[in-house]
Amino acid sequence: MAEQEERIRYQARIHDLPSGDRPRERLRDAGPAAISNSELLAILLRTGGEKESALAMASRLLATFNGLAGLARSSFAALCAQRGLGEAKAAQIQAALELGKRLVAAQPEERPVIRSADDVARLLQGEMGLLDQEHMRVLLLNTRNQVLAANDVYRGNVHTAVVRIGELFREALRHNAPAIILAHNHPSGDPQPSPDDVAMTKQVIEAGELLDVEVLDHVVISHGGFVSMKQQGLAFR
């Protein structure tokens, strides 16, 4: 009964808006690409709270978590702690955002081709830029620079004291891949490589020369951008 009353109050507020301003109607008429993040989130929430509409709640959540990226990194408990959000709404938000991550990460039928660091970022940034801890990933490439696999090798602090160089080449040797690209994320939001990143990359390049596996680049990714160490002349000659 209480839920029904909440829905009635929400509908009354939404119905006060001109039909062209209502999120669901705007999505129906103009398509999802034409509406804002707060409107998409409001449609997902379906109902607001006692004192705010779903649209107002969506705007508040995006402001609180600094946009979609922050919302995607938030924990289930952090969402539930927000006014008007219970476990059901928190689950809806996390489920929708996880589907978005998986869609970005899904491999197309044809293998992606890596021609530059921009291609690496397009392939990985949507997923890795939202991770809340460091991950090291190795892209295995064939002779046409097509991606054979993208293997997660390390999670946690990625630096020279932790990373075993042999682990980075294990799958490349198993698949007979002639080249690899390293990629790891900085959850801080700053993609600038650290001295540890540079030192580790030098070691990987030297090991690759011995193993006859070319290291083409090391791309550092964050939700705010990415840096190609090769383009910056860091570790690469």
* Tokens, residue 75: 């924990």
CB 220 within 8 A of CB 192: yes
Residue with token string 């197309």: 108
Q: Is 113 left (phi over 0), alpha (psi -120 to 50) or beta?
A: beta
Q: May I ask the CATH class of domain 110-228? A: alpha beta
Mean pLDDT by 10 residues, the chain (237 residues): 45 52 79 82 85 87 87 90 92 89 62 92 87 89 92 74 81 93 92 93 95 96 92 93
What pLDDT is stored for residue 198 in this prediction?
Answer: 93
The tens digit of pLDDT for each residue in 109-154 reads 567 899 999 999 998 988 888 888 888 999 999 999 999 888 888 8
Q: Tell me the H-state helices in 21-163.
A: 23-30, 37-45, 54-64, 67-73, 76-80, 87-105, 117-128
Q: Is 140 helix (H, G, I), strand (E, B) or coil?
A: strand
Q: Where in the chain is the domain with CATH 3.40.140.10?
A: 110-228
Task: Give all strands of the β-sheet with 179-185 in edge-to-edge order.
Answer: 147-155, 135-141, 179-185, 214-222, 225-228
| H or E stretch at 151 | strand 147-155
Global pTM value: 0.61
* Residues composing the chain: 237
DSSP string, 106-122: PPPSSPPB--SHHHHHH
